[in-house]
Structures are given as structure tokens and as C-alpha cells.
A and B are shown apart, each in its own frame.
Chain A
Amino acid sequence: MNALLVGLCCFAAHVAVTLVWLRVKRGPSPVARHAASALGTHAAGVLAGAWVAGPLAYWPAAAVSGFGAVCWLFAFSAVYKSVSLRILSQLSRTPGNALPFVAIAEAYVRPEFEARVAVLVKMGCAEEDAGGYAATAAGNATARRIAGIQRACGIEASGLYGGAIATQSSP
């Protein structure tokens, strides 16, 4: 039971650290901050727990703090990147909570696409020249690795929840 409580304390410390660290403008990516905080608070918490409470079973503490950290990251990822939740948030701020489909596609989905273009350029995976955007050597290498993982996982076409071929093109 002590080990479960130690795991809970590790998770509480992780929550506190991320809530502060995510507000710092410079530094590693948000996901890297989550990972570093989860590992750091877990290691420190387990050692502190063993020092305070005596011999400690590792796995119950790891299970609680690991589960909490994954749920925390899941919640963060949902609101940080999800296009669907962004659209829902826009709907909630609009009078009548309604928007024409065309407006959603043009005013919210297209800018989201352009924002990801900027992310890929910033990451050094894509570059813009006079003819448009092209993958860099690093981008090509990353794409090949991802394609390899997709082949191993039997995924033929990615990107659309409905599948690239089956997606409707008209209302």
C-alpha cells in the first residue's frame, strides 16, 4: 500500500512540475518536458519513498505514477494538437454555437494545415524555395523511417480517420 501512495506522490509532483515548466517560453518541446518530468519525479519519488518508508516494492509505485503520467500526457496532447477539439472550441465561442461548413474548412482547417507546414519547416523536415515546399534530406530520412514503421504495422494510407480512399468528398 505504501508503494501505491509513493506512486501517487510521484504523479502529483509530475503534475506540479509540468504545470510550471509548460509555461516557460524557451526549452525542449512540450512532449519532451512531459517525459523528462515524469522520469525525474518518478526516480526522485521512489528513492525518497524508500528512504522515508523503508523497503519499497517498485512495481506498484511505477504502475500508479506511470498510469498517471500517460493520462496526463494524453489529456495534454488532446487539447494541444487535436484539430477536432480546436473546431469544437471555435464552435463554443461562436454565437449560436454554429458555423457554416465552408467557414470551418477555410477559416479553421486550412490555417491548421498551414501551421503544421510551419512546424515541419521549423523542424528542418521541409524547406520552401521558389517552386514551393520540398522535403529536406532529414525530412526524407524521417519519412522513410515512418514509412517502414507503417509497413510493419500494415498501414497502407494514413492521415484521415475515414481512410484516404473511403472518405466522402461531398456533403
Chain B
Amino acid sequence: MGVDFVPSAAVAAALAACGLVPAFLIALSHGVLKVVAPGRRFVLAAALAWVAWLATVPVTAPDAVDLVTSVLLLATATLAGFTLWTLVAWGFTVSMLLALDRAAAPLTVDEWALAYTRGKPIDAFARDRLGVLFKLKLAETRGDVVVMTPVRGRLFALAAGTLRTLFGLSK
């Protein structure tokens, strides 16, 4: 019985590339290199990390197991990084707390919502979240009515419902 914790050269390169995801993110967040849109910034940082790892592949010449390991390690770092990034950039509860912290005096729920949207009505928040559904073509607008798209929207709703049931969450 024994566990070998020493990574091969290919896996070590992948681990280093994982560390590059936050490093590139910070680099692209300030100064002349700054990418303004947080979503694009993350995509570019992750892409640069993947390119950096790909550049090492000819040198490290990984076998099949090392290749699978390296890809999965980088995919894990990308997905975990994206999850944390969405929390920092767009997190609902996090942003609500920041809005409350900025307020000089106690807020009613309506005032808190206004502080959260920086003066926009609650509609702005609804529209913002609906924008995700529109962008992914899961729903569309017909006048003042929002309609779920028949194929893609239905499939996503079905998948979300199935996952909620699987995780034991209420419908």
C-alpha cells in the first residue's frame, strides 16, 4: 500500500497552469491590461492559462493518463474559478450585503432593493436576470409577456426540475 504524491512533469505543468488562472485574472483586472467586462475578463484569463499549458505539452510529452489528468485538473480550476468569480462579480446575496453596508441609515426592503440596483427599480433586476434566459434562448419576449422557448427552454426547465428532485430541493 502506498500513494505517490509526486506529480509527473506533465501534471506539474498542469498544476502550474491552474495557478495561472487567478494570476491572469488579477493581471487583467488593473492598469493598461484591464478587460472591463468581468465575464470577458474571466474567459480571457482562463484561455491564457490553457494556452500556457498547451505550450508545455510538446516538452512534457504526456502519456494518455497524464493527458487526461492534466485536462481534468485545468478544467477543475477553470470551473471552480468561474464559480468563485461569479460570486464576487454578480453574487446576489453578496451584493445585497455590500449595498446595505454602503447605506448611511437603515433601509426598508424597497430602499434596499434600490440601493442594490443603484437607483434602478426592481424591474431592472428582473430584466437583468431575464437577460440570461434571453441570451441563452431559453425564453423570449412577446410584447410585455415573457415566453419560454418550446425546445431549448423546455429542455432546460426539465433538466433543472430533474436536478432539483435529485438534490431533494422543493419544486
Contact = CB atoms under 8 A, between A and B. Distances in A.
Given A57-B4, A79-B169, A91 B153 contact: yes
A109 B109 contact: no
Given A100-B145, A153-B25, A135 B7 contact: no
B23 interface: no
B167 A76 contact: yes
B139 A88 contact: yes
B53 to A, nearest CB: 13
A72 B121 CA distance: 35
A152 B27 CA distance: 10
Please tell me the size bucket of the interface on A. Answer: 35 or more
Interface in A57-71: 57-60, 62-64, 66-67, 70-71
B20 to A, nearest CB: 16
Contacts of A50: 1-3
Interface string B1-22: 1111101100100010000000
A119 interface: yes
A152 B154 CA distance: 40
B51 interface: no
Q: Chain B: interface residue count, which band?
A: 35 or more
Nearest to A141: B101
Contacts, number: 292
A155 B161 CA distance: 33
Contacts of B83: 70, 73-74, 77
Contacts of A12: none
Contacts of B105: 131-132, 134
B88 A155 contact: yes
Nearest to A54: B1
A87 B133 contact: yes
Interface in B21-79: 25-26, 28-30, 34, 37-39, 41, 65-66, 68-70, 72-73, 75-76, 79
Interface in A87-119: 87-89, 91-92, 96-102, 104-105, 108-110, 112-114, 116-117, 119
A32 interface: no
Contacts of A58: 3-5
B114 to A, nearest CB: 11
A132 B100 CA distance: 11
A23 interface: yes
Given A46-B3, A167-B127, A135 B145 contact: no
A133 B121 contact: no
Contacts of A108: 126
Interface string B91-112: 1111111111101011111011
16 contacts: A22-B168, A50-B3, A55-B1, A59-B8, A63-B70, A63-B76, A76-B163, A79-B160, A85-B160, A89-B171, A119-B93, A133-B109, A146-B98, A149-B88, A164-B118, A171-B141
